[in-house]
Amino acid sequence: MISIKNRHFNVHRILLLAIGLWPCQRSRLVQFQMILCFGILVSSIGFQLLTLITTEFTFDHVINAFSVGLVFTMYVIMYNAFWYNFTEIVERPLEELQHICNELKDKEEIVIMKKYGDNIKRFTFYALVLYICDLIILLPTISLSIMPNTFTVALHISESELRHILYKYIPKYFVDRKNYLCVVLLYFDAIVCIGATTFLATGLMLFAYLKHACGMLRIASYRIKKAINIRNNICPKNEAIMYKGIIYAIHIHRTAIKFSTIIFFSLHLSLFAFVIVAVICLTLNLYAVAKIALHENSIDQFFHIIIIIGIFVYLFFFNYMGQELTDHNNDVFLTVYNVQWYVAPLRIQKLILFLLQRGNKNVNLNFGGVFILSLEFFASLMKVSTSYFTVIYSMQD
């Protein structure tokens, strides 16, 4: 038997526990933790937009404020999506996955599911390493307190220049902002830590769910091959085994599709809003990088480049997950095409014909009734962001 939580979701459990979103007894302490994390993320949006009121209102300053404020908005959207749909996205899918794995009796099917679980663990490890590296780069307070000179020397800037950059994102009339700069930096560090952990934890959970769904589809292909391969000495007993095997394949195929679509149906409004905000944020940060490049302000440009890379990677893997599920579903029906169905009894052939007809309908993850997760959709998002950036930049020139 495969223990899903201990074998495949160990790191996910730690990350979600850190932000209060792991399924456990909902004690008052956990509820307070969730309210605190969500409150910090929501306050970050207001804090950033406050700079529009307390400073001179210019187009470039609006771009700077929204390019960062929309990142905080994406944090809030993802945290709220998992908090609001906690049972449908975190608790119930884990129980259903454990139930599905408990039903697997064939050794080859267990090996297939373990193989996809190992892929999840490998990807999680790489993502965790990237997450730690990002935190080391994005947390100037930790870098300056633990390694006083390393951060500034590595980026070839002085501490005064770093303070000048940070003042752009602190309201002008913030009470004694020079003396309380460390407090403000700690506040921003908390936002980055909670937001980055939210991004990582929620993204890894969705990735793990869809990887398990792909594993189920692979098992469906295996069951079809195994059923049709029983073609020697076709007798009523073997025919019943073939029929039963195909039914089992159809059952786990339907389970995989239902499992993945229900999760994304619970998230479709949140993901719709997330994609819209991500495209706008990506456009504004592209403009900020191009504008700052003219003034040769490397640290500020570096800050926006980190945001661009983060959005790019997150959108890519979102769409990659959808594309992989579609490809695995197509592989199931490609298997049906390739097996020697013509040697099977007539009743089995009719059942296979039904499967072939079902294969004409693509299985896609869509949300908002508009967007379909795929690599083609990812390319369209990048094209749209680049087009908007070009328009804004040409209008300013």
Q: What confidence tens digit (pLDDT) does each residue in 54-76 have?
A: 666 677 777 878 888 888 999 99
The fraction of the chain above a pLDDT of 70, given in percent, is 78
Please report the pLDDT score of residue 282 as a whole number. Answer: 93
Mind listing the pLDDT tens digit for each residue in 300-330? 677 788 889 889 988 998 899 889 988 888 8
Q: Is 155 helix (H, G, I), strand (E, B) or coil?
A: coil
Mind listing the pLDDT tens digit for each residue in 175-216? 445 566 667 777 878 888 899 899 999 999 999 999 999 999
Please report the pLDDT score of residue 150 as a whole number. Answer: 44
Cα separation, 285 vs 312, in Å, equals 12
**What are the Cα distances from residue 391, in Å, to 172, 330, 372, 397?**
31, 39, 26, 10
Q: Is 377 helix (H, G, I), strand (E, B) or coil?
A: helix
User: Which residue shows structure tokens 């910090």?
Assistant: 40
Please report the pLDDT score of residue 7 as a whole number. Answer: 75
DSSP secondary structure letters along 314-361: HHHHHHHHHHHHHHHHHHHHHHHHHS-GGGS-HHHHHHHHHHHHHTTS
Cα separation, 144 vs 148, in Å, equals 4
Cα separation, 170 vs 341, in Å, equals 68
Cα separation, 295 vs 301, in Å, equals 10
Cα dihedral 180, 185, 187, 188, rounded to 10, equals 150
Q: Is 380 helix (H, G, I), strand (E, B) or coil?
A: helix
In the chain, the N- to C-terminal Cα span, in Å, equals 64
Contact 375, 270 (CB under 8 A): no
Cα separation, 134 vs 307, in Å, equals 10
Cα separation, 21 vs 128, in Å, equals 18
For residue 187, how far is the Cα from the chain centroid? 25
Please report the pLDDT score of residue 348 as a whole number. Answer: 74
Cα separation, 353 vs 369, in Å, equals 30
Please report the pLDDT score of residue 160 as a whole number. Answer: 56
User: Which residue shows structure tokens 């070839």?
Assistant: 156
Cα separation, 314 vs 338, in Å, equals 36
Contacts of 249 (CB under 8 A, 6+ apart): 220, 221, 223, 224, 227
Domain boundaries, the chain: 4-396
Cα separation, 248 vs 224, in Å, equals 9
Of the candidates 171, 194, 228, 215, the one whose C-alpha atom is nearest the C-alpha of residue 325 is: 215
pLDDT tens for the chain, 397 residues: list them: 677 777 788 888 888 888 888 866 667 888 888 899 999 999 888 877 777 776 666 777 778 788 888 889 999 999 998 888 877 788 888 888 888 888 888 889 889 998 998 899 899 998 888 888 877 776 654 445 444 444 444 444 555 555 555 555 555 544 445 566 667 777 878 888 899 899 999 999 999 999 999 999 999 888 888 877 755 556 677 677 777 888 888 888 888 888 888 888 888 888 888 999 999 999 998 888 888 766 655 566 777 888 898 899 889 988 998 899 888 888 888 887 777 766 667 777 777 777 777 656 677 777 766 778 889 899 999 999 999 888 888 877 5
Contacts of 114 (CB under 8 A, 6+ apart): 2, 7
Q: CB pairs under 8 A, 24+ apart, for 222-226?
A: 222/108, 222/109, 222/112, 223/109, 223/248, 223/249, 223/252, 224/249, 224/332, 224/335, 224/336, 224/339, 225/335, 225/339
